[in-house]
Structure 1
């Protein structure tokens, strides 16, 4: 199966052909994925600024000020963290929108080391106002959500691509959480590529499983409705920093007694390269670890969010 990132250049090439507002801005990463024909057809709307991430955001914001719909792409650590001031000011302060499309997720390229990991990207964007955040769990979902993002007027949208993927896509609409399994003894929200492991972890447990690929705005109504049927013990399983969405879940249930456990990538830096699968296990996001932690929480035990 191809990866989410494999879909990026073909999808954006079609959107460049279809929509004269669209521009793609790259910082060397991903340049080779666009074929020569795309570069010849769109020399003014397919742009490589080189390894200059602050300029990457600034150039995209400049295009947005002229009425274009810029799609800006590089690794998450170079897209959100390194040029954060430009994301904050060139886009947010100037009141213009863009689509930021990341690769490498939290630890998709372990050999690249911590410089190429970004488990805190969604938490960083949460310090800013007005961002929509999509976290697809399958290449088909990534293509759908890319099209949603480009079509979203002039909004600020972040699309988080990963090599981690669920085995099969689900219908996504760029807005709501979807109920995958119903139960009566708690609610588990699985975000993006964590769904397969979460379903395996909760097999035989009497819990409702929600699936989220659009996490900002947070679908409080769906979570609230699920807890009315299944009770107010809530577990969030996110492929980025553990606890990133616990505040949103708490706000959704602020008027009722509830408990929330946020599972995700731990804060401790893992300095051995290893493999993606080894990092998943080390952060407790494999099916066995998730089952143990979710079961303990639902039984009333205290469970640390990070590993």
Structure 2
């Protein structure tokens, strides 16, 4: 199976040929995979080099001319480093584009903290009007990439990862999907966390919702699931900073008593490189860690 990033390269190359409005801006990262696309569309595929602020600035300029720019690099260089340009060159100018990241929270541990971005979605939450997709499988990544490319002039972030669920699910770029039903509580699994959540909650009477589009937050589906489960105990398992989505979840349930547990990447930096699975376990995001924390939260409801 190809990775999400490999699928991004092949799908975007095809979309550039299909839609003359699309453009691609790179900052060296991933440029080799688009060599053929650059030869075919030299006016719409631009590599600005290792200049991430310029990456966003060029994308914003393209959007002002009517193009739909796709901007790609590691998440830490796409959201964190050029944050001012996201705020001004896109948001303040009233134009949109598609950010497509790689690296996620710690996909490349040996790259060190410079290449990790567990706070990317939380940072975008400080800006207005962003749609955020977090696919959990390469097939879902393709669907959401095409959805983002066709989304008019909207501002869209597609967060790719080396983590992947074993099988794809049907996604529509808007709603959470109900994967399992129960009456003991509701667990929202975001993107590549679904398989771990399903393993962690096996045999427990819990509703599991699958979220691949987290902004806008699907309040209606969460409320319906809580009503069906007869409880407002909600756990959110995200592959980025813990608690990132507890605020919109609390707003969805603000008219009723509820309890929320936000699980995700901790704030403490893990300074040993290790491997991806070791980082997951260290943050309690492996099936064993998730089961302990979820059951502890639910059994402590009294």
Q: What TM-score does the superposition give when structure 2 sets the normalisation length?
A: 0.99
Rounded Cα–Cα distance in structure 1 between residues aligned with 2:73 and 2:35:
17
Cross-structure match for 2:53 = 54
Residue 2 (structure 2) pairs with residue 2 (structure 1): yes
Shift of 1:210: 0.1
Offset at residue 35 of structure 1 (A): 3.8
- Paired residue secondary structure (2:182): coil
Offset at 1:295? Answer: 0.4
> Which residue in 2 is equivalent to 1:116?
115
Equivalent pairs counted in the alignment come to 301
SS of 1:32 mapped into structure 2:
helix
- Counterpart position of 2:155: 156
Aligned twin of 2:14: 14
Moved over 6 A (4+): none
2-structure distance, mates of 1:246, 1:101: 24
Partners of 1:35 and 1:75 lie apart in 2 by: 19
How far has the Cα of 1:40 moved from its partner? 1.6
Secondary structure at the aligned position of 1:158 is classed as strand
Residue in structure 1 matched with residue 87 of structure 2 by the alignment: 88
Alignment partners' CA distance in 2, 1:301 and 1:193: 28
Residue 272 of structure 1, CA deviation:
0.4
After superposition, where does 1:197-276 map in structure 2 within 5 Å? 197-230=196-229, 231-276=231-276
Name the TM-score, length of structure 1 as normaliser. 0.97
Hey, what does 2:96 align to over in structure 1?
A: 97
1:110-151, Cα deviation, whole Å (9 max, x unpaired) = 000000000000000000000000000000000100000000
**Counterparts of 1:219 and 1:88, CA distance in 2:** 24
Q: Which runs of 5+ in 2 are unaligned?
A: none
Q: Aligned equivalents of 1:41 and 1:163: distance in 2?
A: 29
Q: Deviations over 1:19-70 (max 9, x none)?
A: 000000000000011243x222100101100000000000000000000000
For 2:179, the equivalent position in structure 1 comes to: 180
Name the CA distance, whole Å, in 1 between partners of 2:224 and 2:94. 34
Aligned position for 2:189:
190
Partner of 1:305: none
Cα distance in 2 between the residues matched to 1:140 and 1:33: 19
Q: Deviations over 1:67-98 (max 9, x none)?
A: 00000000000000000000000000000000
**C-alpha separation in 1, matches of 2:38 and 2:286:** 41
Q: RMSD over aligned Cα, in angstroms?
A: 0.8
Cα distance in 1, alignment partners of residues 48 and 35 from structure 2? 17
What's the secondary structure of 2:117's corresponding residue? coil
State the Cα deviation string for residues 161-188 of structure 1 (Å, max 9, x = none).
0000000000000000000000001000
Question: Hey, what's the Cα distance between the residues in 2 that align with 1:268 and 1:168?
Answer: 32
Cα offset for 1:301?
Answer: 6.0
1:116 & 1:301 partners in 2: Cα distance? 38
Q: Which residue of 1 aligns with 2:30?
A: 30
Structure 1: state its 5+ residue gaps. Answer: 303-307
| CA deviation profile, 1:223-261 (whole Å, cap 9, x unmatched) | 000000111000000000000000011000001000000
**What does residue 291 of structure 2 align with?**
291
